[in-house]
Amino acid sequence: MNWTEFFTNLMTHYGYLILLIWTFFEGETALVLAGVLSFTGHMELGLSIFIAGTGGMLGDLFWFYIGKKHFDIVKDKIKNNEIIVDEIKKILKKFDILVIFIQRYLYGLRTIIPIVIGMTKFDTKRFFIINYISALFWSASIMIPAYYFGNNILNIFEKIKSYWYIFVILYIFFFIFFGKKIKKRLIEFELKKIDEINKK
């Protein structure tokens, strides 16, 4: 059994559990894979969207709870990101729903934003409802295109699978040498956008 067959077999038997756990922490890659596997018939699209949205919601709810009840655990993280935290607090006062909807698309800020929201007096039930809706929208917005372009994505996988180790090496090299720098630039760019919205 090659790695492709192993992975397909794994996702066929445990795909939904893997999807739930994966999206609890991050998720875009998992959403694309689930969309493609829904295209091939190994997973069901509607159920995958629901489970991925649930995983994303639970991940955000966890960090929201940490910010609300166990701030001491993350106080060093907050202290090291005071500028970001101040900007988030400012925009929350005007566009709280918008922040909850867009936070999962902001690379580098997806953990800290739910923590900051939890630090405020934001109602837990309200956060749960809004965040769940946004998580379902997020999972659908990525998974549905992956489903409809499943054949194209599979063709790409087919072309690179013989040289997968090269892509792994390039990915590791890219992550080590450019990952932090790109993350920093993205956060600066996103903070600039947040500041522009806050000034309106």
**Structure token pair of residue 159:** 């072309």
**Tell me, what amino acid is at 15?**
G
Q: What does the block give as tokens for 135?
A: 């998580």
Quick check: helix, strand or coil at residue 1? coil
Cα–Cα nearest to 26, from 106, 130, 129: 106
pLDDT at 180 over 60: no
> The pTM is what?
0.75
Which amino acid is residue 36, in one-letter code? V
Per-residue pLDDT band at 193 (split at 50, 70, 90)? low
CA Rg value for the chain: 19
187/119 Cα distance (integer angstroms) = 21
Which pLDDT tens digit goes with each residue over 80-125? Answer: 667 777 777 778 888 888 888 888 877 667 788 888 888 888 899 9
What confidence score (pLDDT) does residue 49 get? Answer: 96
Q: Determine the Cα–Cα distance for residues 25 and 8; give it in Å rounded to an integer.
A: 22
Domain count along the chain: 1
pLDDT digits (tens, 9 = 90+) for 35-70: 988 998 888 999 999 999 999 999 999 999 988 888
According to DSSP, residue 149 is labeled T
Q: Which domain holds residue 193?
A: 3-199
